[in-house]
Structure 1
Amino acid sequence: MEQILAAPLSSKTSMEADQITIDMASLERLYRYVDSIYINEVDKQKLFNDLASALIASLDDPYSFYVPPTKAQEYQEETSGVYGGIGTYLNKPSTESIDPSIPSTYMITIVSPFPGSPAQRAGLMAGDLISHIDGEKVDELTSYEASMKLRGEAGTTVTITVYRNGTSFDLTLKRERITAPTVDSGIIEGNIGYIILSEFTPQTGTQLLENVQKLMKQNIVGLIIDERNNSGGAVDGAMQSANIFLEEGKTLVTIQGKKGTMRDQRYISTGSAEVLQKLPIVILTNTGSASSAEIFAAAMKDNGRATLIGTKTFGKGIVQDVFRFGEGFAQVTTAHYYTPNGENIHKLGIEPDILVEDIQLSDEEIPAFEQLMTDKVISTFVQDNPEASEENIRRFASQYTQRGIDEEVLALLVRNEYLSKMPYDKRPIADATFDKQLNRAVQFIRTGK
């Protein structure tokens, strides 16, 4: 959870200030001495960055760190959810899947262009492949590295080589200011609203409200909000999101900082509860739900507005402040946060109201799974049985249980393989048939228990 601050440094006691003054004077003497006698010219920018990194690293806190100038823009884009680019979701298989005869295994796949983005307006479609970016092959790039190369200052251009149906052509696109989507939604099981919250940025509250309003117009009987594997992000995004569902005056979260820093604060909902209070809401959680995702889940749970289904959340109950330092950024842990019921969940997590375990491989099943992938059993089955029917999925699962993998895991693996072969715009947003946690959420919406 992050807060961007204008003033990075807080006051210290006179004793602490005196010790800092002594220490910094000693460091300055060392710096000047090394600069005067070192055989080579001292790279002062590198030294400054290394000193800043070492200072924060000495806290031994995994959530506190220094971001050097070379990474500052990337970091700012990630935390704000706004960047210069062409607006696409990208994907690339792992290096183990590369087959020189199959371009999709070594090129970058456009999963989907963002609506209204430069990519969409240029005619790029889900399933298009990118072979080059500004003349450079993408064979060795991950999807993340390719994404970074497509980003840049709004107004600048990037040329990509597109491979479609055996034909290659170049497109030069002008980058624009892109707001990364963090919310997706749809209708499942006939009349139940389903929302995926992938992360929280300052834009998430607005995006969520738009999706909620769209679903409400379709006369939904309940709403499922999927926060599984949402690692958090901006606390403002989480509080804005809770405001959509909670009436004014409800406690969202309480923050408690270091004694004497005057940082303690209780945040209260200011929303007008856009969603009818009688509409049942379920939030899906797992161990990947962390930080701001936990703030949102706790605000909804403790105020009696949602039922949590799934597994216990990660347990990150601390706050980081982010501030400019030099040409980079510093992120430092400054406070604990407490749920509306006053609980400190750090390293504890939030227990769901209804426990439904994830479907996952056990340690004992991993060797059998590795052999299954080596033998290409799943991809061969899907190739021989191209219809993504429930019958085919269950037939595969029952057929290969003798390999030592649970039938539910096998069903999920082959279902995911079928999904990967579908065009992005043809994929269902969710599948309650082979998702135990989602299935239980649907049952709760239908029955209230």
Structure 2
Amino acid sequence: MSSSEYITCFYCSEYSKIANDYPINFASKDVDSFTPRCFLHWEYECSKCGEMTHFNGISWCSSCKEFTCLRCVEEKMEKKEFLIYDYFYKIPCHSCGKYSPALDFAEYEGTHPFQIGDLIPKEDTVVWMPINLEELKFQTFPHKAWGLRRILSLGKYVEFKRLDLFGDYDPKSTWDALAPFWAPLFREGGDYHHKYKILPEVYRLLDVKENEKILDVACGEGNVARNLTKQGAQVTGVDISKLVDFAIEREKEEKLGIQYLKLNAEKLASKFTEASFDKVICNMALMDIENYKTTIEQISYVLKEDGIFVFSITHPAFAWPTCTSFRVPKGSQRNEDKLRLVLDYFDERPTLIDYGNDTPSLQFPRTISSYLNELVKNDLILMEMSEPKASEELVKKFPRNAYMDDDIFPDFLIVKAIKKSKFKLHD
């Protein structure tokens, strides 16, 4: 192998960003992957089970001169900032029970078997001898999914900013700013996902009947309201943002009989009496509404007994911001090279979603159970759930959107519920 073909170890390279004196070894293991590794940062054989184990999941007992892996014993986790990490495993020796750190931390504190002379590397390896640990500048901690984000940095993926405080962002102002972008897109039915995956299922579940009174909550520029009216329904649309201004202007032209109001979804009772509507639809909006609990309560209030409520949202488990994706090789346009990863399903902090505009949208991620439990609290009983999957026809028509993407992961969740005020879960 010529010098031009040498590949450096992924871990050595990462560690050297923290410790300036850290030696960078050439990789001899897994060299064809995007995390090639040297002999030091490869795998070690457990003295008990004989399994080869990643160096960060195995410890060395200097008394018994044996390795013990995580599979054979019960480890402990200790929080400690070192190198590119903020914790390490303490693993008891399978023979004597003495706890020793996994080899990633052992190397950091200078007790790795290669550092103390208990073992000699079988390949040419320059071993780091930590001397000036106090001079190391650590990365900012804590970080969730820290190792995951390091790996993701090698691929192409979308980052979502979680917010502890809103600051300059709130749902109304962000959607006011986005209105000129979204209104033209939905004027003729919406994008690929809305046209072919979301709306067909929404209309199927809503099952519109002639002369039904339907409330379209967070109606936007009126795409759904117009469609429902053409199916024979009497539709009222409400929205808090400037998107509804586009709907009002179009209604002046088409005169379909739709009533539009600029109204907060959390204040429906201020404009409508109890049991005013046969059905309520909230299409792709609940995840953008800050107080979804109040909104669902208000929807139940204006809905008649046995009335139907249908809502669609980005999938809480498989869509952004819970889930992200990256491509290996980076930049590949083949969907088999696209990987999807769940980052934190339970993180319900508000999140900025960047669509490539000057203003990002503000989304409020929640768990599936959060939505369903709120329905039950407000006398709305689950009838059906849908997670639209791309059909074979859709895969053929839109292969880059659907193949090994929309046909294997659900991006959206659609829920149908019925109002049953007298329904009792228990006697």
Tell me which interval the TM-score lies in, with the shorter structure as reference length: under 0.3
TM-score between both structures, scaled by the size of structure 1: 0.26
Structure having the larger proportion of residues in helix: 1
Q: Work out which of the two has the higher radius of gyration on C-alpha atoms and give 1 or 2.
A: 2
